[in-house]
Amino acid sequence: MLCCAGGPAKTDEADQRTIKDSVEAVMAVTNVRLRGMSLLLQNIPHRGGNCLHTRLSKWCRLAGEGREGQYAWVLDSPINQFNAQTYRRLAFDCTQLLKNDYAERHPEVMEAFLNTLFYMKREMHQARPGNLLLNVVAEYWAPLSFKSTADAIKEVLQSGRMRGEILIMDTQYPEQALATPYAAAVIQQVTTPIWLPNKKAQAESYAKFGVTGKVFEAVRDMGPLSREMVVQQGHQTVKLKMELDGPLKYWLPLLSATQKNLAVAERIRQHLGTTDPKVWVDAFLVAEAVRQWLNTDDPAVWLPAFDYAENQRQSMKTRDAQRWMPAFQKAWKAIQEHNEMEDAS
């Protein structure tokens, strides 16, 4: 909330007490769906000029006088769906925000948004003390760009294990992480770096991560599609390969999102009328396997085939693609041949 108010430099002790009291008032509302920035703003008096109310209003849907704040989309959802007591998993697609030019032009948005994610995961974990928590931070250069979120990462690295927390950070651009002001302190605390192939790796940059000599050469020489990696821990280094051939390829769409399979997942959720992963995940894997086999992105082509394949899979009572897929392919080819013969006649 401090970064939304302009940071500690613009927020005196009186403002901070007001924020604390307002947050407590919002959290006391029993209807979780009503909690949000607009409700918080109602508890903060307007004193004119660049007061606390004015600074926070740009983050609110109901900013006063029928206005919507410039950054209302960041934090002030019309309906709050997050409830720490019921959520066990939390994930956000930050692709558009993580574009470097956006992050540079809107640092206040990035800091507020990232701090909110860290806050939500803390609340979620505190609701279940003793449970294991896996933190996955993609493009970790972004939270390392701000002291507040860099401190949150350092705290997990230093003390998270005592709470059952594990932290995984990744980036496609190690050099970008090095350019952040808080990278050095964080990198020193990472116990197990895993390096993926990088033909464009720069020796000078990788040396700052402790990757030199033959280890650096291995990182640079691995093929981009080899699924090989170099793992370091302490003074030991080993080269590994992740085998995802044969039946395991069927599960890849769950492990690695692309624009194509994300579109398939969204269409399947719409088709089934549910966002419950217990319902749509198996169906999505079937749909993606069918789409790839038909070699098409057109839902008008793959969706009818999916319906047929899903019915066949369920009738066979199996999740094993090596069982239902050949049966589907044989039947679908027969249907297509029959349709072609009818069209010809």
Mean pLDDT computed over 165-185: 90
pLDDT score, position 100: 64
* Residue range 127-150, pLDDT digits in tens: 998 899 999 999 999 999 999 999
Say if residue 101's pLDDT is above 80: no
> How high does pLDDT run on average in the chain?
92
Element (H, E) at 135: strand 133-138
> Exposed/middle/buried for 54, CB within 10 Å: 0-12, 13-18, 19+?
middle
Rounded CA separation 97/103 (Å): 7
Say if residue 19's pLDDT is above 80: yes
Radius of gyration for the chain, computed over Cα atoms and rounded to the nearest angstrom: 25
The pLDDT > 70 percentage for the chain reads 100
pLDDT score, position 62: 92
Tell me the sheet residues that pair with 179: none
Backbone phi and psi for residue 264, each to the nearest 5 degrees, phi listed first? -65, -45
Asked if 126 contacts 147 with a C-beta cutoff of 8 angstroms, the reply is no
Mean pLDDT computed over 3-22: 92
User: Torsion angle of alpha carbons 262, 265, 270, 275, nearest 10°?
Assistant: -110
* Residue range 239-293, pLDDT digits in tens: 999 888 778 889 999 988 899 999 999 999 999 999 999 999 999 999 999 999 9
| DSSP 8-state code for residue 95 | T
